A and B are shown apart, each in its own frame.
Chain A
């Protein structure tokens, strides 16, 4: 993985010193809250309902064991013993004292981490496929490009005060696991007919109160042109993006209002001015960054097949976990493991200090010291020898992280919601927990098959509800929580925005409604191979509306 050079170290240390001074001056009353707020936000410090919240960047979701151990340490020493992994592949701590944040940032800097640009109207943490470097289906590892974007976008003087926040995602595979079409810029790393690497470039995706699917504005951008082209996009946005209305300030609105042809023309025109200048990436520089992401030396471990076969016979639960949470690796002797942070009835994405430390130990022992955070709020061990899978599983059982539910209905994405968040209008976590408990039976979950359920506690859509196969949006209506259901959303290579199915449900009704939707699907699917999303796309909303609301219509 990437290692800080001298410049990176100095840069992060300087920022820690600068922000420590700002905190000290704030605590001494030398600067006001109005003056301090933008400074703390630039360093990932929010104020929520119960306390401050610190959001720490995990660039493209990649961590080593030392870093995860440090996150566990911070959870124990400065917070309340846990952290919350987010849909931007970051981690949030919900209870730090402002006076402790300088010490936390110093601890983070010691393991090459920081909280810079995890808030504010700047380019946020660049996300990537969590199986990057391991996936059997990828053309190349997308993370070197994410790292190049990170370096370029960090305190970029021109792009630190954009009309609104700006999010970039990169995938290196046809199968999109990074939700690139819901991003301000989505990059699909691919090869052209000549075998050269480049990107399909998508612009103007986003969720929030106005969900939009990104438009492809270029089918193939040579890799050397990555920064000049992104600069051209950002320049057009910075110039024409709306600053008069926060709710219309994202690039998705600009793309929508300008039209994809005109925006493409503007970007291409801007790019003509830039493409042959100093932003062109030298081949040697790209390869130098590439080298940081060189895959670990995966020695042959052919005994894995037999070991897995025997362990399967020995343990039904291991076998189920293998089927659900373990995916094919580009090396036949290895596999990528999803460590579910969605234990039945647990808060999605939360991990305790000791769990973080134990997972760090596992990564060190069995996974070449590599870890990922997925945007679906799970942890990943990207390179595990199949021969070691049983040992990893057993260790996960010991720490309560062996739930075999990856991609099933209880693998819920959920924002923190009104239990923590100052913006939320309704709770999300308790809804996720109740649904998780209702569908606790793994047998039932597996019978239902792949189903992506996503919950947001307000219209800002941090819980990605728009692109859930089933999406739930919590709002406040007449002083009570009300949950609106959308169906048919998807965040893969066939991205779609879910449709509101009808009137919302109270917190008492919502789990029954979800169960009704699932039962309806089970009743109408062609066979077990027809996933929920495929069945929905085939039949549309009518049967689900009928199941949910027919009684009401008749009664009325």
Chain B
């Protein structure tokens, strides 16, 4: 299973592609579970990069457990939550992310 992630051009915020736009949290990211869906996300990422909406676009591996999207690699877990030594920073510090978690 994969999701599309990037950093927003203007402020560098880590974002994930969800419901036709770029969301600041991973929870509702569009999931790709076959090659066709991955190709679709990749095309969306390439367009968004070309349109200067985002940078550093990547398809990343995730798992979904009980409806919660969890990145496979630690690097992506940290991007989705924030620095592990500072719970007051990053997505984990935000009420909407805390509610989702």
**Partner-B contacts on A (CB < 8 A):** 26-27, 29, 32-33, 47-52, 80, 95-99, 347, 418-420, 422, 424, 427, 429-430, 433, 476, 479-481
Contacts and interface: CB of A to CB of B under 8 A. Distances in A.
Contacts of A427: 74, 78, 84-85
A27 B10 contact: yes
Contacts of A48: 12
B83 A420 contact: yes
Interface of B: 7, 9-14, 49-52, 55-56, 72-75, 78-79, 82-86, 89-90
Given A418-B75, A429-B85, A481-B74, A47 B10 contact: no
20 contacts: A32-B50, A32-B52, A33-B9, A47-B7, A50-B89, A50-B90, A52-B12, A95-B89, A98-B9, A98-B10, A99-B10, A99-B11, A419-B83, A419-B84, A419-B86, A422-B56, A424-B75, A429-B83, A429-B85, A430-B84
Contacts of A424: 75
B37 to A, nearest CB: 24
Given A49-B78, A98-B10, A347 B52 contact: no
A433 B87 CA distance: 14
A436 to B, nearest CB: 11
Contacts of A80: 89
Contacts of B83: 50, 419-420, 429
Contact of A27 (B9, B50, B72, B84): B9
Q: Which of B51, B56, B78, B83 has the most CB of A within 10 A?
A: B83
Contacts of B72: 479
B11 A98 contact: yes
Nearest to A424: B75
Nearest to B73: A479
Given A26-B52, A49-B75, A418-B74, A98 B85 contact: no
Nearest to B91: A50
Contacts of A433: 85
A38 B58 CA distance: 20
Contacts of B55: 33, 47
Contacts of A481: 74
B interface SS class: loop
A51 B82 CA distance: 10
Nearest to B57: A33
Nearest to B53: A29
A28 B56 CA distance: 18
Contacts of B9: 26-27, 33, 98
Contacts of A419: 78, 83-86
Contact of B12 (A26, A98, A430, A479): A98
Nearest to A45: B12
Contacts of A347: 85-86
A62 B79 CA distance: 34
A113 B77 CA distance: 36
Contacts of B86: 347, 419
Nearest to B14: A50
Q: Which of B51, B72, B82, B89 has the most CB of A within 10 A?
A: B89
B78 A51 contact: no
A29 B13 CA distance: 18
Rank and list the top 9 A-B pairs by shortest CB-CB distance, nearest first.
A97-B11, A51-B12, A419-B83, A29-B52, A52-B12, A429-B85, A49-B79, A33-B55, A99-B10
A427 to B, nearest CB: 6
Nearest to A420: B83
A418 B10 CA distance: 23
Contacts of B12: 47-48, 50-52, 95-98
B48 to A, nearest CB: 11
Q: Which of A26, A47, A418, A476 has the most CB of B within 10 A?
A: A418
Given A33-B55, A52-B12, A430-B84, 8 more contacts: A49-B14, A49-B79, A97-B12, A98-B10, A98-B11, A98-B12, A424-B75, A427-B74
A510 to B, nearest CB: 15
A267 B75 CA distance: 44
A104 to B, nearest CB: 13
Contacts of A50: 12-14, 79, 82-83, 89-90
Contacts of A47: 7, 12, 55-56
A32 B12 CA distance: 15
A476 B11 CA distance: 29
B11 A51 contact: yes
Q: Which of A33, A429, A481 has the most CB of B within 10 A?
A: A33
Contacts of B82: 50
B24 to A, nearest CB: 11
Contacts of A97: 10-12
Contacts of B49: 33
Contacts of B52: 26-27, 29, 32-33
A325 to B, nearest CB: 24
A98 B11 CA distance: 5
A115 to B, nearest CB: 16
Nearest to A481: B74
Nearest to A27: B10
Nearest to A51: B12
Contacts of A430: 84-85
Nearest to B83: A419
A521 B72 CA distance: 39
A347 B87 CA distance: 13
